[in-house]
């Protein structure tokens, strides 16, 4: 059905087209209208929740108007688009971001104030959109911000989980998980009940030859689940471009429960189908850097990939272009291996549904996809059992076997007789049961593979994907070092710092061209500037201290050195090294005379992060941190010299308060294990220094800001293998200071030591895989250097200014431009400034 309005009537449409508000009065009018109509309330019962809802709806309407125009513009221009497929989008809050990106926060602030509200209180009403675990999901969110801000025609595709990452509560020092039901009221999504895609599962494949002797495969039977689109507008910063994030929600094909069964009294099974279908998009898997191989997860992956590809292909077909032009019009980026089935699904669409031959289809497929790898940890590399696959996606498994056969034939031609090589690179692992190696499938089906920091991209080429470099040549493998959006992580999280920088660099231009920060170098020794700089840091620490007081009851002195480690809890990230270091500091303080203590630098050690619910060792680390805090925080010998804080439920909105308040932050993974890290970038950009290992992006941060401005310690990635070998087959001698720390733990100083036996044992008795003991001495010594350096505040402040000035490289805008040029081959779609775009300075 033609839904387009005929020419003669279009003038009426144009005349009455929605006009986005610009002025304070128009904003207030919209808020009052939403309170009184959409929300059916009035000035007599408008609480902060209602005011948040109305303000958000006012901004959402505005974004949707720009979203519509952006989509029309992009469709009309008909240039190449990017689709970013990610199972996680860790967006955080939308209102503050929307206000800042469209340049109307001050307008909203005054408007809300006239209506009787403080903007901070309204912003704080919002529930985080937490559809992700950690770095990988937040990277996807930063990328969406950059793609919109740079005017790239780009969509994100993901799943609309009913429950995002769980909320963490700490009860008696233990992590307790509480479901995160966030959709109660979500003004930022736009249900598209007209965009529904059928997704098939299970069933079987019937093969036959048609009249022309062509092999035909039909995937039939099984069950159908419906995918409904929910669109979330993504506003660019200071540009009308408003891109789209499309999230799919699952429903039973019938849409309703089975009335037949219901009427015959079979209540339970009448809703069972419906529930089973809705389960697909019900909950985000809470594992970070871990693959558990669960069937429901594979179902999520196919559901999301099939709906997204159907949508992408449908849009392409409207253009009536030849299939061979598909990769000229479309780039699809795979955020890790989670969407790798898209490769198989596109091949299936092209050969089974559209009738292309294999080779023609495969050329299109491989030219369309790019694959980003985010880890070398073996336990995180996805593998699916063949029997499970066979049952759920029988046709896809056949296609994978064909892809593998053609691939292995090409390897055989290149390396005749090398049977070992064939076994090593086969997409099918010949184990019991056989497994599909998703990373290998992603490599074979993409034209580019990238890692996320230089060290990591080198490591994948020399370790896990070595053979593939030999097979495809080195040019297929590249690096795109991660970045962060300075809009959220500087302008939004640290408004005062942003304002100061703007005042010295000629406005907010640095938020779109972060290299402008360079101009700050000339203020690194400027007395006045340093004073303002230090005041802002102090104010941010006061803000965090207040938050610590209100959430934990512990009073911390904002003049202390704030030492922060916030990230998912994982043995490889080594929060255990940090807490053992804290215990060592405690022992040192206890052994000192009161006079000696006076020379110490007071420190607050702040931790935050979630453990995967099934990850016992990570939960043990949380337990230890809390118990150590409980003892130290009330020890009168220690007082303000040391406080230990565990902040509950670390998430994006809390990161916005925590990040600007660090003096030092910890990025201390075992060398070679953290692919990149991105919070390292956030902390430095906010005027904090870091202590870190030579791992991930720490190395490039050092190169950019200078080695005098970072505290590096520990063994290098190239030495890890040998050290592990020595632990297991040579002699394993424990660091003597660490032994003292363990002795204190074992004396039940922090509660029943039995609770921590597995943790200390993993280091003393079970090979110390993460090199905690090997790096302990170097860590302690380097922390002592931090204490010393902090005493010279003048020098410290200069270091932080120089560091910020040199962080331009780590903007996610730089990152997106690299993807666009090296991998996607797409160009931005320039826009003229249109009506309604305020630019606040």
Instruction: List, by residue number, the catalytic residues.
Output: 374, 567-568, 573, 678, 682
Cα–Cα distance measured from residue 386 to residue 797, given in angstroms and rounded to the nearest whole number: 57
Closest listed residue to residue 661, CA positions, set 752, 529, 563: 563
Minimum CB distance to ligand GPW, residue 667 (Å): 10
Q: Which of 135, 327, 629, 692 binds ligand GPW (CB under 6 A)?
A: 135
Residue 105 or 138: which CB sits closer to ligand GPW? Answer: 138
- Residue ranges in 616-645 that form contacts with ligand GPW under rule CB under 6 A: none
User: By the 8 A CB rule, do 713 and 778 touch?
Assistant: yes
Stretch that binds ligand GPW, among 591-599, 642-650, 676-684, 738-746 (CB under 6 A): 676-684
Q: Which of 55, 139, 141, 628 binds ligand GPW (CB under 6 A)?
A: 139
Choose which of 238, 347, 375, 665 interacts with ligand GPW (CB under 6 A): 375
Cβ neighbourhood burial of 88 (10 Å; 0-12, 13-18, 19+): buried
Yes or no: say if 632 and 653 are a contact pair by the CB < 8 Å rule: no
Q: How many CB atoms lie within 10 A of CB 658?
A: 27
Q: Is 289 or 552 the residue whose CB approaches ligand GPW more closely?
A: 289
Query: Within 316-355, which residues bind ligand GPW (CB under 6 A)?
Result: 336
Closest CB to ligand GPW among 578 and 633? 578
| Cα distances (angstroms) measured from residue 783 to each of 16, 205, 668, 703, 798 | 64, 62, 12, 21, 19
Minimum distance, C-beta of residue 491 to ligand GPW, in the bound complex (Å): 22
Smaller CB separation from ligand GPW, 54 or 283: 283
Per CB under 6 A, the segment of 54-62, 72-80, 372-380, 710-718 that binds ligand GPW is: 372-380
Compare residues 250 and 375 and give the one whose CB is closer to ligand GPW.
Answer: 375
Q: For residues 163 and 160, give the distance between their C-alpha atoms in angstroms, rounded to a whole number.
A: 9
Residue selected from 364, 386, 452, 611 as contacting ligand GPW according to rule CB under 6 A: 452
Pair 460, 373: CB distance under 8 Å? yes
Q: Which of 93, 374, 383, 541 binds ligand GPW (CB under 6 A)?
A: 374
The nearer residue to ligand GPW, 250 or 289, going by C-beta atoms, is 289
- Let me know if 519 is exposed, middle or buried by CB neighbors in 10 A (0-12, 13-18, 19+): middle
Question: Minimum distance between the CB of residue 105 and ligand GPW, rounded to whole angstroms?
Answer: 28
Identify residues 105-134 at the interface with ligand GPW (CB under 6 A). 133-134
Q: How far is the CB of 810 from ligand GPW (least distance, A)?
A: 12
The Cα 734–Cα 764 span in angstroms is 7
Beta bridge partners of 159: 248
Q: Could you tell me which stretch among 4-12, 500-508, 638-646, 671-679 binds ligand GPW (CB under 6 A)? A: 671-679
| Pairing assessment for the beta strands 428-429 and 435-437 based on DSSP bridges | antiparallel
d(CA 52, CA 431): 55
Cα angle vertex 272, ends 267, 273, to 5°?
Answer: 125
Pick the binder of ligand GPW from 288, 563, 656, 663 (CB under 6 A): 288
Q: Are 696 and 669 in contact (CB under 8 A)?
A: yes
Q: Which of 35, 150, 309, 675 binds ligand GPW (CB under 6 A)?
A: 675
The nearer residue to ligand GPW, 103 or 451, going by C-beta atoms, is 451
Whether cis (ω within 30° of 0) applies to the bond prior to 815 is no
User: Is the Cβ–Cβ distance between 329 and 80 less than 8 Å?
Assistant: yes
| Tokens 């490039």 found at | 700
289 binds ligand GPW (CB under 6 A): yes
3-state secondary structure of 554: coil
Residue 678 as a binder of ligand GPW (CB under 6 A): the answer is yes
| DSSP string across 93-130 | -SHHHHHHHTT-HHHHHHHHHHTT--HHHHHTTPPPEE
Residue 130 vs 805, nearer CB to ligand GPW: 130
Structure tokens at 529: 């500037």
- Residue 840 — φ and ψ, nearest 5°? -95, 135
Q: Coil, helix or strand for 177?
A: strand
Q: How far is the CB of 231 from ligand GPW (least distance, A)?
A: 25
Q: Which is nearer to ligand GPW, 126 or 336 (by Cβ)?
A: 336
Q: Is 380 in the site for ligand GPW (CB under 6 A)?
A: yes
Nearer to ligand GPW, 86 or 492 (CB): 86
Q: Are strands 369-372 and 330-335 parallel, antiparallel or unpaired?
A: parallel
Q: With CA atoms as reference, report the closest residue to 383 among 422, 350, 339, 427.
A: 427
CB of 458 to ligand GPW, least distance (A): 15
- For ligand GPW, how many residues bind (rule: CB under 6 A)? 19
284 sits near ligand GPW (criterion: CB under 6 A): no
| Closest distance of CB 692 from ligand GPW, Å | 12
Asked if residue 136 binds ligand GPW (CB under 6 A), the reply is yes
Q: What minimum distance in Å lies between the beta carbon of 675 and ligand GPW?
A: 4
Q: Is 482 in the site for ligand GPW (CB under 6 A)?
A: yes
Residue 805 binds ligand GPW, judged by CB under 6 A: no
* Cβ at position 676, least distance to ligand GPW in Å: 4
How many CB atoms lie under 10 A from the CB of residue 837? Answer: 16
Q: State the nearest-atom distance from the C-beta of 41 to ligand GPW, in Å.
A: 41
> If DSSP codes are grouped into helix, strand and coil, which group holds residue 215?
strand
User: Which residues of this protein are in contact with ligand GPW, per CB under 6 A?
Assistant: 133-136, 139, 288-289, 336, 374-375, 380, 452, 482, 674-678, 696
């Amino acid at each position: 059905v033609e839904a387009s309005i005929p020419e003669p009537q279009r003038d009426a449409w144009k005349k009455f087209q929605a006009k986005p508000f610009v002025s304070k009065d128009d904003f207030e009018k919209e808020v009052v209208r939403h309170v009184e109509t959409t929300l059916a309330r009035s000035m007599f019962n408008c609480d902060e929740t209602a005011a948040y809802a109305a303000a958000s709806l006012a901004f959402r309407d505005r974004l949707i108007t720009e979203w519509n125009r952006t989509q029309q513009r992009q469709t009309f221009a008909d240039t190449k688009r990017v689709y970013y497929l990610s199972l996680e989008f860790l967006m955080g809050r939308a209102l503050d971001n929307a206000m800042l990106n469209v340049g109307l926060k001050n307008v909203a602030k005054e408007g809300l104030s006239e209506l009787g509200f403080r903007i901070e209180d309204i912003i704080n009403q919002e529930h985080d959109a937490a559809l992700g675990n950690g770095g990988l999901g937040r990277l996807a969110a930063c990328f969406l911000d950059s793609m919109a801000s740079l005017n790239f025609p780009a969509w994100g595709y993901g799943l609309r989980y009913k429950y995002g990452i769980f909320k963490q509560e700490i009860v008696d020092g233990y992590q307790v998980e509480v479901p995160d039901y966030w959709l109660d009221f979500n003004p930022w999504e736009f249900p598209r009940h007209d965009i529904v895609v059928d997704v098939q599962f299970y069933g079987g494949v019937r093969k036959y030859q048609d009249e022309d002797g062509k092999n035909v495969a039909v995937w039939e039977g099984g069950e159908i689940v419906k995918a409904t689109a929910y669109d979330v507008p993504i506003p660019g910063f200071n540009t009308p471009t408003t891109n789209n994030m499309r999230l799919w929600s699952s429903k039973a094909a019938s849409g309703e429960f089975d009335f037949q069964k219901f009427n015959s009294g079979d209540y339970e099974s009448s809703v069972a189908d419906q529930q089973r279908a809705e389960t697909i998009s019900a909950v985000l898997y809470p594992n970070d850097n871990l693959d558990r191989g669960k069937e429901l997860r594979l179902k999520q992956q196919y559901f999301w990939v099939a709906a997204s590809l159907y949508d992408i292909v449908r849009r392409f077909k409207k253009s009536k272009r030849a299939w061979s032009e598909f990769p000229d019009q479309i780039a699809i980026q795979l955020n890790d291996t989670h969407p790798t089935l898209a490769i198989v699904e596109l091949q299936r669409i092209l050969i089974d549904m559209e009738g292309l031959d294999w080779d023609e289809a495969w050329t299109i497929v491989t030219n369309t996809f790019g694959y980003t790898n985010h880890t070398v940890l073996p336990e995180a590399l996805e593998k699916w059992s063949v029997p499970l696959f066979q049952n759920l996606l029988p046709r896809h498994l056949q296609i994978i076997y064909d892809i593998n056969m053609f691939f292995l034939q090409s390897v055989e031609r290149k390396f005749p007789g090398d049977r070992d090589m064939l076994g090593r690179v086969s997409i099918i692992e010949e184990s019991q049961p056989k497994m599909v190696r998703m990373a290998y499938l992603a490599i074979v089906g993409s034209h580019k593979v990238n890692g996320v920091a230089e060290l990591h991209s080198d490591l994948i080429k020399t370790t896990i994907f070595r053979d593939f470099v030999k097979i495809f040549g080195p040019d297929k493998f590249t690096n795109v070092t991660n970045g962060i959006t300075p809009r959220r992580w500087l302008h939004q999280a640290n408004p005062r710092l942003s304002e100061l920088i703007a005042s010295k660099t000629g406005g907010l231009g640095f938020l779109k061209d972060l290299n402008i920060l360079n101009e700050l170098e000339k203020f690194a020794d400027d007395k006045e500037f340093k004073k303002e700089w230090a005041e802002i840091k102090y104010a941010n620490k006061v803000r965090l201290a207040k938050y610590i007081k209100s959430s934990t009851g512990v009073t911390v002195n904002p003049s202390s050195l704030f030492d922060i480690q916030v990230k998912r809890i994982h043995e490889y990230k080594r929060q255990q090294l940090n807490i053992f270091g804290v215990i060592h500091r405690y022992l040192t303080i206890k052994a000192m005379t009161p006079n000696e203590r006076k020379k110490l630098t007071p420190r607050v050690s702040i931790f935050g992060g979630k453990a995967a619910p099934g990850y016992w060792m990570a939960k043990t680390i949380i337990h230890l941190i809390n118990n150590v805090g409980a003892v130290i925080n009330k020890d009168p010998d220690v007082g303000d010299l040391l406080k230990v804080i565990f902040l509950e439920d670390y998430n994006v909105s809390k990161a916005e308060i925590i990040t600007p308040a660090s003096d030092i932050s910890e990025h201390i993974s075992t060398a070679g294990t953290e692919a990149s890290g991105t919070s390292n970038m956030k902390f430095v950009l906010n005027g904090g220094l870091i202590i870190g290992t030579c791992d991930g992006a720490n190395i490039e941060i050092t190169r950019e800001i200078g080695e005098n401005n970072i505290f590096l310690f520990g063994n290098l990635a190239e030495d890890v293998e040998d050290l592990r070998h020595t632990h297991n087959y040579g002699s394993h001698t424990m660091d003597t200071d660490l032994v003292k720390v363990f002795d204190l733990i074992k004396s039940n100083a922090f509660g029943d030591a039995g609770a921590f036996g597995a943790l200390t044992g993993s280091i003393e008795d079970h090979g110390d895989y993460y090199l905690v003991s090997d790096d302990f001495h170097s860590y302690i010594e380097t922390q002592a250097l931090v204490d010393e350096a902090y005493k010279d505040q003048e020098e410290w402040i200069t270091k932080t200014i120089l560091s910020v000035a040199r962080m331009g490289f780590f903007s996610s805008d730089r990152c997106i431009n690299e993807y666009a040029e090296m991998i996607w081959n797409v160009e931005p779609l320039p826009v003229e400034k249109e009506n309604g775009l305020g630019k606040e300075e």
